[in-house]
Amino acid sequence: MQNVTLSTAAGDADIEGKEMPEVDADMLEATLDYIRPALQADGGDIVLTGVEDGVVSLEMVGACGGCPLSLMTVKAGIERILIDRVPGVVGVDAK
């Protein structure tokens, strides 16, 4: 597994004045492992490159890296799943 920096806004206030929870690295990895088989079935994968202020940075690789629908996969699928399953995740940014 690749080492990534999990930088969160713990202690920082979000727009509504509430403190943002830290992103649990183990829960994030487990959720990405839950998502991976669907991507791997189509010849692709995702690589976690970092987390900052609740935004998860991913790199689409393999067939997903050049797929014109990868942005839709990230926003409509991966982002929704991560926000639902991992407390502290507020968005996803993918390359």
Domain annotation covers residue 51: yes
pLDDT on residue 14: 46
Backbone angles phi, psi at 58, to 5 degrees: -125, 155
DSSP assignment of 34-74 equals HHHHHHHTTTEEEEEEEEETTEEEEEEEETTTT-TTHHHII
pLDDT on residue 5: 44
> Which residue range(s) make up the domain with 60?
6-94
pLDDT on residue 18: 53
CA-nearest of 72, 79, 82, 84 to 25 is 82
DSSP 78: I
pLDDT band of residue 1 (cuts 50, 70, 90) is: very low
Domain annotation covers residue 1: no
Domain annotation covers residue 80: yes
The pLDDT of residue 58 is above 80: yes
pLDDT band of residue 43 (cuts 50, 70, 90) is: very high
What is the pLDDT averaged over residues 1-7?
44
What is the pLDDT averaged over residues 9-14?
44
Domain annotation covers residue 77: yes
DSSP assignment of 59-70 equals EEEETTTT-TTH
Count of structural domains, the chain? 1
Q: Is the pTM of this model over 0.75?
A: yes
Tokens of 59: 């790199």
* CATH (domain of 59): 3.30.300.130
- Measured distance CA(1)–CA(29) in Å, rounded: 10
pLDDT band of residue 83 (cuts 50, 70, 90) is: very high
